[in-house]
Structure 1
Amino acid sequence: MTEKPVRRLGWVFAVLALLTAPWVVFLAIRLPSDRAATHYDLAWAGFDLGLVAALAATSYAALRVGAWLPVAAAVTGTMLVVDAWFDVVTAPTPDERWIALAMAALVELPLAGVCLWLAVTGQHLLRRGLGRSAAVAGEAPVRPTRQ
């Protein structure tokens, strides 16, 4: 994929973000603060199952230093931040909120930071690996493009 379509998609996402912001304000004003959710247990179990899959994918990619390590680590880090947020804001009692805050501060957010580091490091390893592969094949090494 060339740089031009990627930049166009960047503008599309910028517009989507701008259009979504008023919707978030509307929801924050209009939605009730307290509401029971049907299938609450299924929602959390499903999310946590997805988190287990993301952690396993990140583990596998890191052990192999695979090409998809940056993506797996970014997904896992994002899921950890989302998990921490919803654990804290949906805690039903003050005691459970303190436990959620402690888990967020001591486990989920630091691990999300490690995932971010893995995503960036994995991207650098991938670029270096592509450069080495190209040199072995007698091609010009792949260089990152200017932003």
Structure 2
Amino acid sequence: MRGHARVRFVGWSLAGLAALMVPWTAYLFIALPGTQPSAHFDLAWGGFDLALLVVLAVTGWAAVRHSRWIGSVAAATAAMLVTDAWFDVVTAPSTRERWVALAMAVVVELPLALVCAWLSVRGQVIVEQRLALGLRPRRIAGHNAARVRRTPR
């Protein structure tokens, strides 16, 4: 299977899996209880926030360095920020805490996720341009160095 065919196959496979998840997701909404005590709740949230801290730092570092993987890490950061906002709001134990979580989501997490999504797309373009520019001077210097020097008229 060639590269394009493999990508298309994976795309259709993922679409099929998404379709299979529809009845399962509906079942979960119906069958799961509205509340549930959770063991290691602090570890789950602390671990997630630690991972978010790491991807935020790596995204910043990748942006400053114009790293090749800025698109991937910025997209992961955006996804984690949206996930964090969602779960902060829906798991808030009181009305007051839900309003605080909603305010944090609207003022901080979701705008930052949009910035990371923009950085994911724009960062990839910058990297591609940088790679293209990095290739041109080598070709010119190697083959047409004499033609590059032009005298002003």
Q: Identify which range, 95-104 or 22-31, moves more after superposition.
A: 22-31
Q: Normalising to structure 1: TM-score of the pair? A: 0.89
Q: Report the alpha carbon displacement of residue 118 of structure 1 after superposing the two structures with TM.
A: 0.2
What RMSD over aligned residues (CA atoms) do the two structures have, in Å?
1.6
Partners of 2:138 and 2:33 in 1: CA distance: 61
Name the larger-Rg structure.
2
- 2:6 matched to 1:17? no
1:133: which partner in 2? 134
SS of the residue corresponding to residue 112 of structure 1 reads helix
* 1:1-147 alignment runs, 5 A limit: 2-138=3-139
Q: Structure 1: give runs of 5+ residues left out of the alignment.
A: 139-147
Q: Structure 2: give runs of 5+ residues left out of the alignment.
A: 140-153
Q: Report the alpha carbon displacement of residue 137 of structure 1 after superposing the two structures with TM.
A: 4.4
Q: Normalising to structure 2: TM-score of the pair? A: 0.85
SS of the residue corresponding to residue 97 of structure 2 reads helix
Partners of 1:71 and 1:42 in 2: CA distance: 26
Q: Report the alpha carbon displacement of residue 79 of structure 1 after superposing the two structures with TM.
A: 0.3
Q: Report the alpha carbon displacement of residue 80 of structure 1 after superposing the two structures with TM.
A: 0.3
Q: Report the alpha carbon displacement of residue 106 of structure 1 after superposing the two structures with TM.
A: 0.1
SS of the residue corresponding to residue 83 of structure 2 reads helix
Q: Report the alpha carbon displacement of residue 83 of structure 1 after superposing the two structures with TM.
A: 0.2
AA in 2 matched with 1:97: R
Q: Report the alpha carbon displacement of residue 11 of structure 1 after superposing the two structures with TM.
A: 1.1
Q: Deviations over 1:54-96 (max 9, x none)?
A: 1011011011010010011000000000000000000000000
Q: Report the alpha carbon displacement of residue 19 of structure 1 after superposing the two structures with TM.
A: 1.1
Q: Report the alpha carbon displacement of residue 132 of structure 1 after superposing the two structures with TM.
A: 2.2
Give 1 or 2: higher helix fraction.
2
Q: Report the alpha carbon displacement of residue 43 of structure 1 after superposing the two structures with TM.
A: 0.4
Q: 4+ runs of 1 displaced by more than 6 Å? A: none
Q: Greater relative contact order: 1 or 2 (C-alpha under 8 angstroms, separation 6 or more)?
A: 2
Partners of 1:36 and 1:7 in 2: CA distance: 42
**Count of aligned positions:** 139
